[in-house]
Amino acid sequence: MRYRNKFNIDLYNNPLKRDPSLLDAKNSLEAAWYDREAQDFVGQLDSGPGLMPMDRDFEELFGTFVDDPAESLPFDRDYVFFSSFPKASGLRILELGCGNGCLSRFFLRRGAEVVSLDLSRAYCRFLAKSDSGSLPLASSAEILPFKDETFDVVTAFVALHHFNLDMCLPEIRRVLKVNGKGIFLEPLGESRFFYKLRQLIPVADNESPGGGGLRSAELAQKLTQTGFDYTIRKFELFTRLERLPGVRRLQRPLRRLDHLMLGAFPWLGLFARSAVIEIKKAGR
């Protein structure tokens, strides 16, 4: 039985994300991992006119949540994430862990000014080539190279859980404008039992060395200590079954069921797979 990933790191209690002295080691391993991953997307740069395939998928999946104000799907994690962004024009957005840049390009197409940060120089080069208006920067989320009160929104799309929270949360608060927001969609790692159970599933381990889901109680404590107002909304119980053949088409009813169950029995949040986290830097 294996309780650790291919790097022999306990992802439930990942020391790389908890020990500041290991920050350089974590960032070096993460950069190398995502530099390799970036090569999988290079071919999309020559995919022809219009959006790249990954951006077409992104628009199809999430565009309506931002563009259609009549849409209201509180049971859907993606709707809750995207509808949390302010509708004002000219937003200054910082995306942490931008990866292939889907989210950054999504908001660039909607007129926002987006700065995209990632450890991977290969991903930063990819983003720069994919959109001439992009502003990619190879840097660490734990030490942000920006002036105080620079951004309206700081966001991450399945990336916050890779960072040392004790280091990055104060930095996020510093660079947010007063009344600015942080908006994150993240995997949860609430249960060690589920983590151990995952080791028994014969599916290739593809988690990077800095990975491992967030624990909501620990996150809430750190957000309070940092001085943020926050909400943590949990999703996905039965929706986990969508990975099985033929179940994907039932995603929406399963998400409705999850929403009802989590509302009626909050303790089931221990078994939730993901969360939308919204934080606010309150006014003075």
Domains and CATH numbers, the chain: 11-280 (3.40.50.150)
247 vs 92 pLDDT, higher one: 92
pTM of the model: 0.93
Q: Across all residues in the chain, what is the average pLDDT?
A: 91
Parallel, antiparallel or unpaired: strands 176-187 and 113-118? unpaired
With residues binned 3-state (H G I as helix, E B as strand, rest as coil), the percentages for the chain, rounded to 5, are: 45, 20, 35
What's the confidence (pLDDT) of residue 284? 59
Instruction: Mention every residue, 6+ apart, whose C-beta is less than 8 A from residue 156.
Output: 95, 96, 97, 141, 184, 185, 186
pLDDT band at 156 (very low <50, low <70, confident <90, very high): very high
What's the confidence (pLDDT) of residue 248? 74
Radius of gyration of the CA atoms of the chain, in A:
18
6 vs 207 pLDDT, higher one: 207
* Sign of CA pseudo-dihedral 61, 65, 68, 71: positive
What's the confidence (pLDDT) of residue 204? 62
Average pLDDT over residues 252-277: 94
What gap in Å lies between CA 282 and CA 178, rounded to an integer? 6
What pLDDT, in 10s, does the model give residues 96-134?
A: 999 999 999 999 999 999 999 999 999 999 999 999 999
Average pLDDT over residues 225-250: 88
What's the confidence (pLDDT) of residue 243? 73
What pLDDT, in 10s, does the model give residues 3-20?
A: 456 677 888 889 999 999
